[in-house]
Amino acid sequence: MDPAGSSIASFSGEIDFTGKDAFDERLRALDVAETAIVDLTDVTYMDSTALSQLIRLLRRRLDAGKTAPRVVTGSRVARLFRVAGLGEMIPAFETLGEAQTV
């Protein structure tokens, strides 16, 4: 947890359905944080099962009265977020810095 009270989970490499349980486990660490940031900057590939885990995180946090998680998409995952139409529910940022300053 950083001074601003936000929790950051950073990922790298390829995230697909074969690794969704590990992905989910790490997202659950963000369930109760004041501010949750998912850093996907170094993720080179991601499929929609990972998006589903992010949506589950969103639901858990909204149910707990927290804010929506913020996602740093990087260049490779941005397209997935765009076509999935999640921008309204899960705020996406190009850099970690942007995500932290809002």
- Is residue 8 close enough to count as binding another protein by CB under 8 A? no
Count residues contacting another protein (CB under 8 A)? Answer: 24
User: Which span sits near another protein by CB under 8 A: 9-17, 27-35, 93-101?
Assistant: 9-17
3-state secondary structure of 91: coil
Angle at which helix 48-63 crosses helix 74-84, to 10 degrees, equals 70
- CA dist., res. 55 & res. 53, Å (int): 5
- Is residue 18 close enough to count as binding another protein by CB under 8 A? yes
- CA dist., res. 1 & res. 36, Å (int): 10
- Is residue 19 close enough to count as binding another protein by CB under 8 A? yes
Which positions lie near another protein, rule CB under 8 A? Answer: 14, 16-19, 45, 47-49, 51-52, 55-56, 58-59, 76, 79-80, 83-86, 88-89
